């Protein structure tokens, strides 16, 4: 008995010296403990989500297997350790096969300490033993109970998850399947081993938990590595560094904090990019939040939202100086309603909404706004788009150009004002809107009975212009009189 006790103590002390507290926890009241270990995944291991679309995720770590054990008094001479095996992502069938393999290893090494042999098998050989290969398939399809159902296939390693309403039935169906492509060690028709424990809530979504664990483990590995900052050239542990997600370039947090503070104070929230020359990777909001204080982050968050809104053509700002709230504008309308102060306004002239009536903004003002926008720098254009709204600027430019073209190429009907363009033919025009006859030269209304009599009158200016020519000063005076 004393030899067994000594062997047990030596084995437990060895485990405590090899593994960290997070991996190995020794029980206080019994000769036992808990070991957590992640499987060693091959490079480029993937998790595939199968549903409406197939999405692949690269992972380096899967949630650990958990081995809880207690050492009987006659271990290792006679009895095997009493244990349970737990996992978040394996099925009962897979864990039951592992339990049976642990029993086989004990039988092959009875009389010797076995925990190290078990751990080596569970860490290094499980994937081959179960036939697990990349990609690990997660089939996402809700069942009647609202949970996610995942199908077990040990060769293709599809994960299983079952709704609470049919857990026992589905468990039996899955575990009675035989897969000829699986390892010869597995017997999938055997009943589930009572020593297996499912740590996964059958109603929860497994994929986010897999990805969250992988991200946390990657960060843990990163924190322990040493990196050389490309700015100050100091060597720092990963815990004191920032790694840009897209490019994986690493800089120390001290340098990046100062860099972020300067850019945010200057309002350049879109410029929080990797300092590496020609690199365009952008820091995530979470990374910025970790490096700057609350006040500066609030400014960053506000400016980032505003810059995003400024790029949207359907966003304008409330024209009230005391408000200035961003307003979403429906397509093909010039009415904006502020959600904060309930002010209804015209997005073109920024005055109270006037329905179908024309804006009070004059053609000269539109032309000035257009010319100012077209001659402005990129920053100036962004400022004007922010001030007036991108859609308003676009309409102002289009309408101003349209008015200039109409003034140069068209004349208004003297009766209804409709713009008329003359392409060819004589100077007797017919309005396409009100059907009024009028003279193209003087815009005089013509009689419907004899419209050409106007052009045959020798005393009219139009007659002299057509057949004899007139002095330009007289013509200008004529048009001036008509406008008066």
Q: Which of 155, 184, 149, 186 is nearest to 170 (CA)?
A: 149
Q: Is residue 215 part of a domain?
A: no
Q: Take residue 1 and report the two structure tokens written for it.
A: 């008995």
Specify whether 451 is located in the same domain as 387: no
Last residue of a domain, one of 202, 235, 259: 202
Task: Let me know if residue 125 belongs to a domain.
Answer: yes
Q: 390 — phi, psi (to 5°)? A: -65, -40
Alpha-carbon gap, residue 103 to 8, rounded angstroms: 19
Task: Please tell me the predicted confidence (pLDDT) of residue 82.
Answer: 93
- Computed on alpha carbons and rounded to an integer, the radius of gyration of the chain in Å comes to 40
> Residue 188: its pLDDT value, please?
47
Query: Which residue in 93, 95, 88 sits closest to 204, CA to CA?
Result: 88
Whether 25 and 19 have beta carbons less than 8 Å apart is answered as: no
Q: Is the peptide bond before 10 cis (omega within 30 degrees of 0)?
A: no
Q: Residue 26: enclosing H or E segment and its boundaries?
A: strand 24-26
Cβ-in-10-Å burial (0-12, 13-18, 19+) of 356 comes to exposed
What is the model's pLDDT at position 334?
78
Task: Tell me the per-residue pLDDT of 423-478, one tens digit each, with 9 for 90 and over.
Answer: 777 888 888 888 888 888 888 888 787 888 877 777 666 766 666 554 434 444 44
Q: Which residue has the higher pLDDT, 156 or 113?
A: 113
Q: How far apart are CA 257 and CA 393, in angstroms?
A: 38
Torsion angle, alpha carbons of 457, 463, 467, 471, to 10: 140
More confident: 385 or 92:
92
pLDDT of 84 higher than 90:
yes
Instruction: Mark whether 254 and 402 lie in a shared domain.
Output: no
Would you tell me how many other CB atoms lie within 10 Å of the CB of residue 126?
Answer: 19
Residue-level pLDDT at 85: 92
160 Cβ partners below 8 Å, 6+ apart?
A: 91, 149, 150, 151, 152, 170, 174
Residues 45 and 169 in one domain: yes
- Structure tokens of 147? 């949970």
Q: Using alpha carbons only, what angle is made at residue 16 by residues 10 and 70, rounded to the nearest 5 degrees?
A: 70
**Is residue 274 a part of any domain in this protein?**
yes
Name the residue among 8, 147, 144, 134 with its Cα closest to residue 82.
8
For residues 141 and 41, membership in a common domain is answered with yes
Please answer whether residues 174 and 93 qualify as being in contact, where contact means their C-beta atoms are separated by less than 8 angstroms.
yes
More confidently predicted of 59 and 425: 59
Q: How many residues does the chain have?
A: 484
**Number of domains, the chain:** 4
Q: Is 2 helix (H, G, I), strand (E, B) or coil?
A: helix
In a domain, 141, yes or no: yes
Q: What is the residue range of 263's domain?
A: 225-310
Rounded-to-integer distance, Cα 399 and Cα 394, Å: 9
Q: Which of 280, 185, 209 is nearest to 59 (CA)?
A: 209
pLDDT at 379: 77
Residue pair 174/161 in contact (Cβ under 8 Å)? The answer is no
Q: Is residue 26 located within the same domain as residue 73?
A: yes
Q: Same structural domain for residues 145 and 50?
A: yes
In a domain, 168, yes or no: yes
Whether residue 422 is contained in a domain is answered as no
Residue 443's pLDDT is 83
pLDDT for 101 beyond 90: yes
pTM: 0.51
pLDDT, tens digit (0-9, with 9 covering 90-100), for 315-333: 788 888 788 888 888 777 7
CB 94 within 8 A of CB 193: no
Instruction: Clarify whether residues 376 and 256 are in a common domain.
Output: no
Structure letter (DSSP) for residue 239: G
Range with the largest mean pLDDT of 81-85, 175-179, 358-362: 81-85
Tell me which of 409, 438, 462 is where a domain ends.
409
Confirm whether 426 is a catalytic residue: yes
Please state, in angstroms and rounded to a whole number, the distance separating the CA atoms of residues 484 and 481. 5
Same domain, 452 and 394: no
The pLDDT assigned to 335 comes to 85
Residue 280 lies in a domain: yes
pLDDT of residue 291 exceeding 60, the answer is yes
Read off the pLDDT of residues 293-314 as tens digits, 9 standing for 90 and up: 988 899 888 888 777 666 666 7
Tell me what pLDDT residue 471 has: 47
Q: Is the pLDDT of residue 178 over 50?
A: no
The CATH code of the domain that includes 305 is 3.30.40.10
In tens, the pLDDT along 335-393 reads 889 988 988 988 877 788 887 776 666 667 767 777 788 888 887 777 676 556 676 67
- Residue 356 belongs to domain with CATH number: 2.20.25.20
Rounded percentage of the chain residues whose pLDDT exceeds 90: 13
Do the beta carbons of residue 242 and residue 121 sit within 8 Å? no
The C-alpha atoms of residue 399 and residue 378 are separated, in whole angstroms, by 22
Instruction: With cut-offs at 50, 70 and 90, classify the pLDDT of residue 258.
Output: very high
Residue 477 vs residue 292, higher pLDDT:
292
Taking Cα atoms as reference points, which of 1, 4, 187 lies closest to residue 103? 187
> Mean pLDDT across the chain, nearest whole number?
77
Q: Is residue 414 part of a domain?
A: no
Give yes or no: residues 18 and 140 share one domain. yes
The answer on 252 and 109 residing in a single domain is: no
Among candidate residues 252, 426, 431, 462, the one labeled active-site is: 426
Query: 230 and 137, same structural domain?
Result: no
State which of 292, 310, 328 marks the end of a domain.
310
Residues 42 and 179 in one domain: yes
């Amino acid at each position: 008995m004393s030899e067994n006790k000594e062997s047990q103590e030596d084995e437990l002390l060895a485990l405590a010296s090899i593994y960290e507290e997070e991996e190995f926890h020794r029980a206080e009241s019994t000769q036992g403990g808990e070991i957590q270990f992640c499987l060693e995944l091959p490079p480029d291991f993937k998790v595939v989500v199968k549903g409406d679309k197939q999405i692949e995720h690269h992972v380096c770590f899967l949630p650990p297997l958990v081995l809880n054990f207690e050492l009987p008094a006659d271990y290792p001479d006679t009895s095997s350790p009493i244990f349970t095996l737990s996992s978040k992502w394996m099925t009962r069938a897979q864990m039951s096969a592992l339990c049976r393999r642990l029993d086989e290893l004990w039988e092959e090494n009875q009389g010797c300490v076995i925990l190290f042999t078990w751990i080596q098998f569970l860490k290094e050989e499980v994937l081959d033993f179960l036939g697990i290969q990349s990609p690990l398939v997660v089939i996402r399809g809700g069942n009647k109970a609202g949970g996610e159902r995942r199908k077990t296939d040990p060769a293709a390693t599809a994960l299983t998850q079952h709704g609470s309403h049919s857990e026992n039935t589905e468990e039996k169906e899955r575990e009675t399947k035989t897969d000829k492509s699986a390892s010869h060690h597995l017997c999938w028709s055997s009943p589930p081993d009572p020593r297996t424990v499912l740590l996964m809530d059958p109603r929860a979504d497994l994929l986010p938990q897999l990805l969250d664990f992988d991200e946390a483990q990657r960060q843990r590995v990163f924190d322990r590595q040493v990196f050389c900052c490309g700015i100050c050239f100091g060597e720092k542990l990963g815990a004191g560094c920032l790694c840009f997600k897209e490019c994986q370039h690493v800089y120390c947090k001290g340098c990046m904090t100062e860099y972020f503070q300067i850019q945010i104070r200057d309002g350049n929230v879109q410029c929080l990019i990797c300092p590496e020359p020609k690199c365009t990777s952008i820091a995530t909001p979470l990374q910025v939040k970790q490096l700057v204080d609350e006040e500066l982050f609030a400014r960053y968050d506000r400016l980032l939202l505003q810059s995003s809104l400024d790029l949207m053509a359907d966003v304008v700002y409330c024209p009230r100086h005391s408000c200035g709230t961003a307003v979403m504008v429906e397509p093909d309308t010039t009415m904006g309603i502020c959600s904060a102060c309930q002010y209804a306004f015209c997005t073109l002239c920024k005055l109270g909404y006037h329905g179908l009536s024309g804006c009070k903004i004059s053609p000269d003002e539109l032309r000035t706004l257009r010319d100012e926008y077209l001659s402005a720098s990129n920053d100036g254009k962004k400022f004007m788009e922010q001030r007036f709204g991108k859609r308003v600027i676009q309409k102002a430019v289009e309408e101003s150009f349209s008015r200039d073209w109409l003034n140069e190429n068209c004349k208004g009907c003297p009766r209804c004002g409709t713009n008329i363009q003359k392409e060819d033919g004589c100077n007797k025009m017919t309005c396409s809107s009100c059907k009024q006859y009028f003279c193209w030269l003087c815009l005089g209304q013509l009689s419907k009975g004899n419209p050409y009599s106007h052009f045959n009158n020798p005393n009219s200016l139009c007659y002299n212009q057509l057949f004899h020519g007139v002095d330009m000063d007289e013509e200008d005076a004529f048009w001036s009189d008509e406008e008066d």
